[in-house]
Amino acid sequence: MPDVNSLVNEFLIKLKKRKIEGSKATAKLTAELLRSFISQKRLPHTNQAGALIDAVKAVGEELINANPVELAVGNIVRRVLHIIREEDLSLTTAAVGGLSLSAESDNEDDVDQGDHPALSAAAVAAAARSTLRPPSLQTLLEDMPHSAAVPQTSSSGGDSEGKSKSADKNLMTRKLKHNVIEAVNELIQDISTCHELIAEQAVEHIHQNEVILTLGSSRTVTEFLCAAKEKKRSFRVFVAEGAPRYQGHALAKELAARGLQTTVITDSAVFAMISRVNMVIVGAHAVMANGGVIAPVGLNMVALAAQRHAVPFVVLAGVHKLCPLYPHNPEVLLNELKSPSELLDFGEFSDCLDFGCGSGSPLLHVVNPAFDYVPPNLVSLFITDTGGHNPSYMYRLLTDYYSPDDLVVRRRSTS
């Protein structure tokens, strides 16, 4: 097994050099890296969850700084932190019957457990846990079977706990780690299957003889459209080419190969075509907490056109793209400015980029931003792997996946 530090470094360098592209790939790699990091991390006997959280935060901070524009990294780090908290919580609530543990949990200042009454009923603890957070529809629905399952583990945990404390601690360590890794595995699973989960919903949204418009290329959108096609829906797709990378060309090729009626248009023709379109379906780079979307460049224009003609603007996003930050945060509004050579051939314009004459600064500047920000009021619907959501519902959905303590991933000072 390779040394985890070198793994981290390698990943850091890759992130820094922009060698990893696409939020899905980044998310998956980040999750896998954190999994191996956690599995190799030696934990102290006391306050394991806290130590683990600190360690993950330290790594996470580095990862986020390596490429602050790729929000998926931060999302996954926060997800993993949340998983650790959740697992720790379920373990402590399970073992809460023993008084010794409640004393221990006092040390864990970052887990909101200290002031919990040491009630033996685990179900109460679980209920208390959910009251600490604003209850989302998801949690309310899911908590019923979950809290029912907890007492079983608690009874077994309680038995062993009473017999030998030290042995139990070992068990606890292993158990926490084991559970966390299990949960991270699930997360990885989720990320890799999010396409299918989103695509499954395609038939509910795409109807017979509709005209769909999309811009650029997104794996999720491709799967989504193809899934509808497979369900024998017949519809047409307009693909805006998505300058300057022209990924729309590749998408059109693939769609045509799958037997979809496809039309390629230029980005600038979007407004002219939008009146014939029934629905705009696009991918996203990240979905912010307010329901705004960081999307490939050009989508704000498409969203405005869609609003003008009252065409639904649907954004497909896997859960790893949900970012708990708000776009007013300057870190988030950072755009990636790519090389101007995607727009212009350097040689052709070398005479315009002459710094040797005049005032020394050239008259020609080329700006090539990678992303647009689409405000939430322009988005009609988000389709994630858990279903369709309104933009205004996003902040509630996020509470299921992220703990409010983790919004700022920064290693706590040693004090």
Partner 1 sequence: MVAKKGGNRGVGGEDAEEELKRDRLQAILLADSFATKFRPITLERPKVLLPLVNVPMIDYTLAWLESAGVEEVFVFCCAHSKQVIDYLKNSKWFGQPNFSVSTIESHNSMSAGDALRLIYERHVISGDFILVTGDTVSNMPLTLALKEHKERRRKDNNAVMTIVITQSKPCSITNQSRLGMEELFMAIDPDTKQLLYYEDKADDLKGTISLDKGLLMDKTSISLHNDKQDCYIDICSPEVLSLFTDNFDYQHLRRHFVKGLLVDDIMGYKIFTHEIHSSYAARIDNYRGYDTISKDIIQRWTYPLVPDVQFFGNCATKLERRGMYRASEVGLSRSAQIGPFTVIGNGTSIGSNTEISDSVVGEGCIIGSNVSIDGCYIWNNVTIEDGCKLKHAIVCDGVIMKSGAGLEPGVVLSFKVVVGQQFTVPAYSKVSLLQQPVKQDSDEELEYADNSRGVIGIPSISNTPEKLNEQFSTKLSDSQRQTVSEVGNGGVGFIWSHGEGGHEEEWRHSVAPIPADRLVEIIKTATDELEISNRDGNVLPPSGELEPDSVDNDSDEDVRDDYAYFEKEVEATFLRAVHENVTEDHVILEVNSLRLSYNLTSTDCASALFYSMMKLALDTPHDTPGELVKNFATAITKWQKLLKYYLTSIDEEIEVILKFEEMCLESTKEYSPLFVQVLHLLYDKDVIQEEAILNWAAEKEEADESDKLFLKQAEKFIQWLNEASEEED
List interacting residues with partner 1 (CB under 8 A): 6, 10, 16-19, 65-66, 334, 337-342, 345-351, 353-362, 365-366, 368
Decide if 68 contacts 60 (C-beta within 8 A): no
CA distances from 10 to 25, 41, 307 (A): 15, 18, 44
Residue 375 Cβ, how far from partner 1 at the closest point, in Å?
A: 19
> How far is the C-alpha of 149 from the C-alpha of 267, rounded, in Å?
53
For partner 1, the closer of residues 61 and 210 by Cβ is 61
CA distances from 109 to 104, 112, 125 (A): 10, 7, 17
Residue 264 Cβ, how far from partner 1 at the closest point, in Å?
A: 17
For partner 1, the closer of residues 17 and 231 by Cβ is 17
CB proximity list for 80: less than 8 A, separation 6 or greater: 31, 34, 38, 56, 60, 180, 184, 187
> How far is the C-alpha of 230 from the C-alpha of 131, rounded, in Å?
44
Element (H, E) at 295: strand 293-296
Residue 224 Cβ, how far from partner 1 at the closest point, in Å?
A: 26
Residue 2 Cβ, how far from partner 1 at the closest point, in Å?
A: 9
Residue 192 Cβ, how far from partner 1 at the closest point, in Å?
A: 24
Residue 244 Cβ, how far from partner 1 at the closest point, in Å?
A: 11
Decide if 332 contacts 69 (C-beta within 8 A): no
CA distances from 2 to 9, 29, 58, 180, 413 (A): 12, 16, 20, 21, 30
Task: Give all strands (DSSP E) within 200-276, no chain letters.
Answer: 211-215, 236-240, 261-265
